[in-house]
Amino acid sequence: MPTTTTSFNHGQWSSRLAFILAASGSAVGLGNIWKFPYMAGENGGGAFVLIYLLCIILLGLPIMMAEVLLGRRGQQSPIRTMQTLAAEAKASRWWVLLGWMGVFTGFLILSYYSVIAGWSLSYVIQSAAGDFVGATQPQIGQLFSDLVASPQRLIIWHSIFMLMTILVVARGVSNGLELAVRYLMPGLVFIILLLIGYAISQGHFWAGMSFLFTPDFSKINTAVVFDAMGQAFFTLSLGMGSIMVYGAYLPKKVSIAKASIAVAGTDTMIALCAGLAIFPIVFANQLEPAQGPGLIFNTLPIAFSHMPGGLFFGTLFFVLLVFAAWTSSISLIEPVVAYMVERFRVTRLFACALCGGFTWLVGLGTVFSFNIWQDYRFAGKTIFDCLDFLTANLMLPLGGFLIAIFVAWVMQDEDVRDEMVMHNAVLYRCWNILLRYFTPLALICIFLRVVGVL
C-alpha cells in the first residue's frame, strides 16, 4: 500500500457488483443515449461501430484499469491520491496537478451537463402532457427553441437536476451513491429493453440492425477513426476524476481487470442498445439518421408522436435520458466533495451544498449562452461551446494521457503489479504495453486532430 496514508475513510462499495453498477452509471450518460446514436448516424453506422469497439478495447479499457488502480492505491480523493502516489514513486510533487485537473474538469462538465439534463426533465413533462402528439417537425422544433430561449425555464430545470444530484451524493457512499445506482442502473436497463421491444414491434428493426452492425468499409476514413477514438474515450468517463474516486472505494479483494472489463462491457452494450432502440424508429418514419445532435430532441419526438403507443414510450425514452444523466452527474461531483471532506473536515452535506451551489452558479453561464448571452462569443463560440470544447477535446485527453504516463512510466512496476493482482503474466504484459505505447500515442493523435495539426 502507499507509504503515505490517510485515516479519513469515506467508506467502500459493499461488493464488486456495487462498483460495477456505480462505475457503469458514471460511464453511461447522455453520451451513450444522446451522442453515440447521432455519431453512428453521421459516420456510416456499422463502419463507425466497428472502429468504436476496437477503440474501447485498445484505448478506453487500458486507461480505465489504470485510473481505477490509482484510485484504489491512493484510497482518497484524486487530489490527495496523486499527492500520495507521487511521494510513493519519489516523483515530482507536480503530479498532484493531475488530480486537480480531473476534479476541475468534472466540475466544469457538470456545470453544463446539468443544464442539458434539465432539457430531458422538461421533455419528460412535455411528452407526458401530450405536447408532441400530432405535432409537425416545425412545431416540435419551435417547442425546443422556446425552451432554450427562456432563461427562467432553463434555470428551473437546471436547479431541479442539481438538487437531485446533491441529495444523492450527500448521503455518502453506501446510503447515497450505492443505493441510487442499485435502483437507477437496473431501471435504466429495463427501460432500454422495453424501448427495444417497442422498436421491434413498431419500427423497422432489421433495418436498424443492418445499419448498426453491417460495416461499409468504404465509409471508414480518417475522420471516422478519430471520431470513434474520441467517443470510446469520452464515453467511459475517463480523465475527470470520477473513475479514480470510485476506485478509491473498491475493496482490495476485487480484481481491477475483471471489474473494469465489466464496466466497459456494460457501457458499450447500453450504447449499442440505445442505437437498437432509436434507429428502427428513425427508419420506420423515413427520418434521416445523420441528424447530428438534434436527433434526440428534434427528430425522435416526431417519430413517437405518430406511432402507436408513442405517448407512453416517448415519455419513457426521456425518463431514460434523465436516469442516464443522473447516474453520471453524481460521479462528476463526488471527487470535489470527497476532497472537501478530507481537506476541511466538513460534513458531506455541507460539502455537497457548497459544491452544488457553486456548480449551479457557473451553470448559469451555459443557461444564458442559449438566450440573453448568445451574442457574446469567444473565437466564435458561446460560453457553452467553449466549456464543451475545453473539457471534452482538451482536458479529458490530457488527463487520460497523464494517467497512462504516470502508471506505466512513473510508478514502480512492483507497485503496479501488487495493485493489479493480475495473475496471468501475458495479459498483464499486453495491458502494460498498450498503456505504455498505444494509448499515449492515440491520445496525442486525438489532441493533434482537435488543434488542427492532423
Percentage of residues in the chain having pLDDT higher than 90: 50
Average pLDDT over residues 45-54: 92
Q: Are 423 and 373 in contact (CB under 8 A)?
A: no
* Residue 38 in this model has a pLDDT that exceeds 70: yes
Cα distances (angstroms) measured from residue 288 to each of 39, 42, 75, 309: 13, 10, 48, 22
Band (7; pLDDT cuts 50, 70, 90): very low
In-domain check, residue 352: yes
Average pLDDT over residues 429-439: 95
In-domain check, residue 9: no
Residues 239-286: pLDDT tens digits?
888 999 989 888 888 899 999 999 999 999 999 998 898 889 888 878
Helix, strand, coil shares of the chain, percent, nearest 5, are 80, 0, 20
Supply 50's cell numbers: 466497428
In-domain check, residue 93: yes
In-domain check, residue 1: no
Cα distances (angstroms) measured from residue 345 to each of 100, 103, 106, 131, 387: 18, 18, 22, 48, 31
* Residue 98 in this model has a pLDDT that exceeds 90: yes
CA–CA separation, 255 and 209 (whole Å)? 34
Average pLDDT over residues 57-70: 95
- The radius of gyration of the chain from alpha carbons, rounded to an integer in Å, stands at 21
Residues 24-35: pLDDT tens digits?
888 887 778 878
In-domain check, residue 279: yes
In-domain check, residue 6: no
> What CATH number should be reported for the domain holding residue 377?
1.20.1740
CA–CA separation, 79 and 234 (whole Å)? 21
The pLDDT value given to residue 294: 66
Residues 181-221: pLDDT tens digits?
888 888 888 988 998 998 898 889 999 999 999 988 888 88
In-domain check, residue 128: yes
The pLDDT value given to residue 3: 41
The pLDDT value given to residue 363: 97
Nearest to 193 by CA among 269, 246, 140: 269
CA–CA separation, 18 and 47 (whole Å)? 34
More confident residue, 34 or 412: 412
Residues 119-166: pLDDT tens digits?
999 999 999 999 988 888 788 889 989 999 999 999 999 999 999 999
* Residue 452 in this model has a pLDDT that exceeds 80: no
In-domain check, residue 333: yes
Cα distances (angstroms) measured from residue 410 to each of 74, 202, 375, 381: 15, 55, 46, 38
* Domain extent for 209: 16-450
* Residue 451 in this model has a pLDDT that exceeds 80: no
Domain count for the chain:
1
Band (40; pLDDT cuts 50, 70, 90): confident
